[in-house]
Structure 1
């Protein structure tokens, strides 16, 4: 065994050099190592490849078995032909699976040819694994006419179904981009309502920590390893990994929901305490199970013992930047301790309060972005260097969390709802519906300023209704009670940011990044985002709060591949939190016995840059990239049928979106 070729255990990434077409038999002066009883082991978690570069790719497998925690030798074979004839073997190399790394193998095969398909497999003695198929990237500068890839997010074992993976594996793709939430750390999870396919049994963590809602979250390295092992037992996920190389980044659930650095946020004061050991365990398990060309320093005692942000180049067509938006981010601008709960800090945050708190933190830091940054100073500088320097036609940013502003002006929204109700009650008012809404909005702003509805005179609205003969007595007897039965709490009369865990909560840094693109003339930048369990597409503006914001780039947001939808989350809030009950019609309405999604319309109404919104979907996204345009197809999956995943085709509907080169906008067909 040639140790120069393959031993690099310090960071647990073995490196094998392809022989350029000659049969690779191991060679070297060292004897074959002790095999470690390979007969006691099996391949039960499939194979995977990832991080394709012009001359290399990382391949992965894991051995399941027991031999007293001794190392086990497994042989890797790589060929340009799917049947692995001996003369075609580019790699035929023994590798060692160590119990320290949960018997996973991560091997970087170098010396490959650019833009080429390869096949790989592992052998335990004469027993082969599944055959994996992978492809290297085209060399930098090589003219490319097309790239085809998918990007996915949020594949919860505990919710919905995984039929989309089976469908994806049948596509003809160059690679898969995973923008995070590959696992979910909590089982079964308090937000789950039993809406999960029967192929997925209930997971039981070896250790774990219980939460008040009855769920248990991963706490130890054994817990996180258990989750990855469990997820990888699904044949559909195995098939997806075997079909294409995956380029993956994590989001929050690979560690902890809505996390930042090594802090968890299950309770309002959780993030006061560092959870360094837990964060390091999550880092190591991700590193062990993902075929990523990154290094983990186990001798580094900090939680930042791994760097997963990295970039890829595909000929002259595309640069792909993978950013880490959890490990370096500052605390949320408004801490949960300030509100005692996530609402008001992470969700449904008053926009002016958020902006003032951010400005205060920046001022206290001498004008730097450090205390309000999602990327952190070093990663932000790296992002600017890469996105500004690469000469490819397109810059793709695997960005995890949506860059799109998502806000609702409750005063205007409630005024419109009440105006509609008044018209429905009295059809003679239909011609005045818009005027009624505007007048009522003025009156509600007066109430907001006063801080109370007491003594609200409804002066503006009375003046409008007087035009059709509604006097004060009629108003007080018939109109006023209808209005007041629909008013929200006075504190809700505001403009709200819906999710401050996204880039809306790190607005100053978003403006900084957009200013960099704008000032340096960097065009054709498209973000590939996820996390929010909905499909969105729209323009990312230089400053969403400016009088005339200018578009700089585009954000495409994929729904959860297997998740609860964004709509269901907001339905839960308005149905179960009395403080928000008055806003129910902004989220959904009942028409007969049918639930109608009104949330999409609400979002489009108050966010003019949104070109597409579907808040009640699970699915995946396919992208075809050419020098002239980016074509993106959102695939919405069929729902569960009882407890069974739908038969193929699992796609219920598709929506085509296009971004023309040279523009910062999206067309939807």
Structure 2
């Protein structure tokens, strides 16, 4: 049976204070700017980390910026004073801000790293908007975003990109330059926005980094610094400013392969529970401070709610889930430290979960009620089975859904039995591209295909990559449900209409130096009411 420490009791025991309700409400604009201080910046550049928008709805979105004139300041405060600063924002129909439709203010509080997350509502559905911030007499770069279509509408199409895994030290963010040139409605980021590892001069870019980045991230100041380093990349800031994003996190925003309250692999295994809870609290707070997330995603100490639904009219529904924070420990002694295992009974134990009982009930309830043409499951780690041995038996990596086979079967069976019209799973984590048929039960050779999965590669993680490497040949031989494999860097571009889903695997030949071109390596489609992927 899955067992997890009660989050409220845990917060009480550990004495989590958090950012405080007032600071949170000030940052969202709910309390206005009366509590802010006058502030004169003695050096230019409050908006060094850019601007962003996210989690769009039919009548609005959340806006984001974080004030940081010295983003690499070693204390993680971005060069800001320990005072609350008034930040004004404008939303307009035009990029010159001649037709402003919303004005408001929020307060950048030191308790939240001087970030603001105003939630704008009351706008027209399915429309493009422009926004900007003003603080201490300085105006931010302008951002562009859009609202979702009206709730009862059936739009003709949706185009979005899927990104994940962007280790700064592994390469340049050229993929985001190409993404910025696409005609997208939004971007979905499936985790590993940053990596917790130290960054030294011995990186694949061959560039010098300040010494404060030479330690692993453990506390809030260090996590803030890591986000500042990643957001120093102009292509990433550009993509944030051009499109609304939908975010979740995976493991490296905290630490490699963590599971609920524990880490059993990596450089810091089996930490003291209280110590690890403090680390999670710091990581989650820094994640919130640096992303366009709504108040509902504000962490409470070592807990954060990431599962949520975001509808694109009746055409599509994004169901974002969390496969990290509620899971049981990885199965089979986690392959005795290798991460892989020859099959074991624990892997298929019906009581073990990757979702947690409450989140699974929420997910399956949504399946039963959804009227969307396309149910898009935003998922961190591959749901498909990936056998590493073409011979007899199975050799499986048990950190993703392969280590929680019963939970996978429950989800896919429920989708099938509830008549989900088209379930398509989008996943990251692997630094590889896959197009996959999802089986109701991978242990049954006659099991029907009930859904489709598109696993997207990394932005940079793993370096330049390759087209089809030895692992790819093994996977394609051992997994007949896998229809495509590629290990280059890039992103997934998806276009959805009422009749079909098309996923284009957009790849770059290299990332360890800037300026790489982009091309479509392969395209796969899913036809309406016909689960499974087909080559376009």
Number of residues of Structure 1 aligned to a counterpart in Structure 2: 505
Task: Give the conservation status (yes or no) of the 8 Å contact 1:622–1:634.
Answer: yes
CA change 1:67–1:546 in 2 (3 A) is closer
Task: Give the conservation status (yes or no) of the 8 Å contact 1:16–1:109.
Answer: no
Q: Deviation digits for residues 22-56 of structure 1, max 9, x if unmatched? A: xxxx9x9x979532224556211110000000112
Query: CA–CA distance in 2 between the matches of 1:139 and 1:67?
Result: 40
Deviation, 1:268, is 8.6
2:471 corresponds to which residue? Answer: 599
Query: CA–CA distance in 2 between the matches of 1:391 and 1:544?
Result: 27
Deviation, 1:269, is 8.2
In the TM superposition, what are the counterparts of 1:256-655 in structure 2 within 5 Å? Answer: 256-267=255-266, 270-271=269-270, 273-274=272-273, 275-295=276-296, 300-301=300-301, 303-304=302-303, 306-336=304-334, 339=336, 341=337, 343=338, 346-347=339-340, 349-351=341-343, 353=344, 356-359=345-348, 362=350, 369=351, 372-409=352-389, 411=391, 495-497=394-396, 499-564=397-462, 597-614=469-486, 616-640=487-511, 644-647=513-516, 650-655=517-522
Q: Does 1:81 align with 2:94?
A: yes
User: What SS class does the counterpart of residue 159 from structure 2 fall into?
Assistant: strand
CA change 1:68–1:559 in 2 (3 A) is closer
Deviation, 1:653, is 4.3
Q: Does 1:47 align with 2:46?
A: no
1:246 corresponds to which residue? Answer: 245
Deviation, 1:358, is 3.5
Query: CA–CA distance in 2 between the matches of 1:204 and 1:173?
Result: 38
Deviation, 1:529, is 0.5
Query: CA–CA distance in 1 between the matches of 2:309 and 2:445?
Result: 35
Task: Give the conservation status (yes or no) of the 8 Å contact 1:205–1:218.
Answer: no
Task: Give the conservation status (yes or no) of the 8 Å contact 2:464–2:489.
Answer: no
Deviation, 1:597, is 2.7
Task: Give the conservation status (yes or no) of the 8 Å contact 2:318–2:376.
Answer: yes
Task: Give the conservation status (yes or no) of the 8 Å contact 2:465–2:510.
Answer: no
Query: CA–CA distance in 2 between the matches of 1:216 and 1:266?
Result: 19
User: What SS class does the counterpart of residue 69 from structure 1 fall into?
Assistant: coil
Task: Give the conservation status (yes or no) of the 8 Å contact 2:153–2:314.
Answer: yes
CA change 1:91–1:546 in 2 (3 A) is same
Task: Give the conservation status (yes or no) of the 8 Å contact 1:294–1:307.
Answer: no
* Structure with the bigger percentage of helix: 1
User: What SS class does the counterpart of residue 187 from structure 1 fall into?
Assistant: coil
Deviation, 1:14, is 4.2
CA change 1:266–1:332 in 2 (3 A) is closer
TM-score, normalised by the number of residues in structure 2: 0.88
Deviation, 1:121, is 0.4
Higher mean Cα deviation, 540-549 or 528-537?
540-549
User: What SS class does the counterpart of residue 666 from structure 1 fall into?
Assistant: strand
In the TM superposition, what are the counterparts of 1:207-226 in structure 2 within 5 Å? Answer: 216-226=215-225
Q: 2:64 aligns with which of 60, 64, 71?
A: 60
CA change 1:608–1:16 in 2 (3 A) is same
Q: Does 1:9 align with 2:1?
A: no
Task: Give the conservation status (yes or no) of the 8 Å contact 1:39–1:124.
Answer: no
User: What SS class does the counterpart of residue 665 from structure 1 fall into?
Assistant: strand
Deviation, 1:410, is 5.7
Deviation, 1:654, is 2.5
1:180 corresponds to which residue? Answer: 191
Task: Give the conservation status (yes or no) of the 8 Å contact 2:297–2:306.
Answer: no
1:583 corresponds to which residue? Answer: none
Unaligned runs of 5+ in 1: 1-6, 18-25, 207-214, 363-368, 413-493, 569-594
1:195 corresponds to which residue? Answer: 204
Query: CA–CA distance in 1 between the matches of 2:107 and 2:68?
Result: 14
Deviation, 1:127, is 2.3
Compare CA radii of gyration and give the structure with the larger one. Answer: 1
User: What SS class does the counterpart of residue 379 from structure 2 fall into?
Assistant: strand
Task: Give the conservation status (yes or no) of the 8 Å contact 1:49–1:59.
Answer: yes
Aligned residues: CA RMSD = 2.7
Task: Give the conservation status (yes or no) of the 8 Å contact 1:333–1:357.
Answer: yes
CA change 1:603–1:278 in 2 (3 A) is same
Q: Does 1:158 align with 2:169?
A: yes
User: What SS class does the counterpart of residue 474 from structure 2 fall into?
Assistant: helix
Task: Give the conservation status (yes or no) of the 8 Å contact 1:539–1:609.
Answer: yes
